[in-house]
Structure formats: C-alpha cells, structure tokens
Amino acid sequence: MNRKIKVFATLSLCALSAAFSGCGNQPEPVVNVTAIKGNVTAKTTSAKDFATVAAEQKLCSGDAIKTGDESSADIEIISDKSQVRLSSNTFLEIRNFTEKELRQISGIAIYKITPQNRELKIQTPQGMATVLGTVLRIDSSDTETTVCVEQGKVGFSKKANQQILIEAGMKYSTSFTTDAAQPIDPFELEKLFNEKDGLKPIINPR
C-alpha cells in the first residue's frame, strides 16, 4: 500500500511540475512584447478569449495581439531582433512562423525588419507583402491595404504570380487604379514614419 501511495505521489508531482513549466507541450516563443501603452490584449492558442498583455510577455506561433483606442505595443521577433510597432486599433496574428508568416488584419504597423536569408511574409485582407530586410509601414482594413516603404524594397502580391515592387520613398495602395507604386513627398514620408507624434491613419474609415 505504501509503495502505491509513493508512486501516486511521484506521478502527481511530475504532472504538477509539467503543468507549471509547460514541459513538452509549449511551442517556442516567437516574439517578445517589449513595450505597451494603454489597452493591449493577446490571445494564445490555448485560450478562449483575449487577455491583458504584460511587458516582456512572450507570444508563440498561432497567437494574436491587438491594441485598443490610443494604445500601442512594441514587439520584437526573437530570432533576428526585428522590431514591429503596433499603433492604436491594430490586430496582428503570428501565423505559422516556421513559414515566417504574420497577418495584419487591421490597423497601422511599422516594421523594421533585420536583413533575412528568407522572405518574411506579412498578410493583409487584400494580399501579401514580402520583405528580406527593410523599414515599411502597412495600413490595413477590411477594404484596403496601403504599403509605404522608407528603406529597402517590398513586394506586394494581390494575386498569385503578380507582384508589385515598392521601393524606398514609394507607396502602393490596393485602391490605386493601376498596379504600380507611386512616389511619396519627402515631408509626407517623414510624417508617415514619425512614431513620436503618433501614427495618423492613411486609410479613411468607412
């Protein structure tokens, strides 16, 4: 009887230890939330609802993060130290990160991507941006995506095998009548990437 009790106690202790440490079942963290302002929440793959995010919280492939009114969050991609600033009312999913995929469902984000040896893919409701190393801004909504590039160059695909090249100092919007990027006035470009004064929306709310 005593032996059975000891075995049961040992198994119970192991189970509790695994539950607290996440041994064997938890995926590797993909991003670190380095700073938050205002109402920032996240939903993990194991949770039913969004919950308040804490600074230095880690997120994994399949998780999602969103910001509320007058809120922002800074995240860092752990593997290469790339930086992403999420402005207010922005919803970002960390997709299948083994395939280097993010999905910006709505809002404004500035991406400062460390040079890659494999393309990082950023999906929006209207298409996909692919980058190797650049600084870009994406504004997305249910009806429109606008991509502005400060440094480097970005490819944006609305359809398979049809990529629009957006170089530094240019922007492309899915609302354009032609599938070609347009130059940005230097003063406008500075404002678009001025994070200190808050990021002003490009897309008019509908």
- pLDDT score, position 17: 38
The total domain count for the chain is: 1
Please name the helix (run of DSSP H) or strand (run of DSSP E) that holds residue 15, with its range, or none: helix 2-21
pLDDT digits (tens, 9 = 90+) for 55-111: 999 999 999 999 999 999 999 999 999 999 999 999 999 987 777 899 999 999 999
pLDDT score, position 26: 63
Does residue 10 register a pLDDT over 60? no
- Classify residue 4: in a domain, yes or no: no
At position 1, the amino acid (one-letter code) is M
pLDDT above 60: residue 205: no
Residue 97 lies in a domain: yes
Structural domain includes residue 118: yes
Residues 147 and 115: their CA atoms lie apart, in Å, by 19
pLDDT of residue 27: 75
User: Residue 119: which CATH number?
Assistant: 2.60.120.1440
- Per residue in 128-163, pLDDT (tens digit) is 999 989 999 999 999 999 999 999 999 999 877 789
Indicate the pLDDT class of residue 198, thresholds 50, 70 and 90.
Answer: confident
Average pLDDT, the chain: 87
Candidates 107, 1, 145, 25; CA nearest to 154 is 145
Task: Tell me: pLDDT of 192 over 50.
Answer: yes
Tell me whether residue 197 is in a domain.
Answer: no
Percentage of the residues of the chain whose pLDDT score is greater than 70 = 85
Task: Say if residue 21's pLDDT is above 70.
Answer: no
- Evaluate whether residue 8 is within a structural domain: no
Burial 172-199 (b: 16+ CB within 10 A, else e): bbbeeeeeebeebeeeebeebbeeeeeb
Residue with the larger pLDDT of the pair 95 and 43: 43
What is the rounded distance in angstroms from the CA atom of residue 95 to the CA atom of residue 1? 50
Residue 205 lies in a domain: no
Q: Which residues contact 35 (CB under 8 A, 6 or more apart)?
A: 55, 72, 73, 74
Note whether residue 11 is domain-resident.
no
Tell me whether residue 161 is in a domain. yes
CA-atom Rg of the chain in angstroms? 20
Question: Which domain, by its residues, includes 52?
Answer: 27-192
Please tell me whether residue 98 adopts helix, strand or coil conformation.
Answer: helix
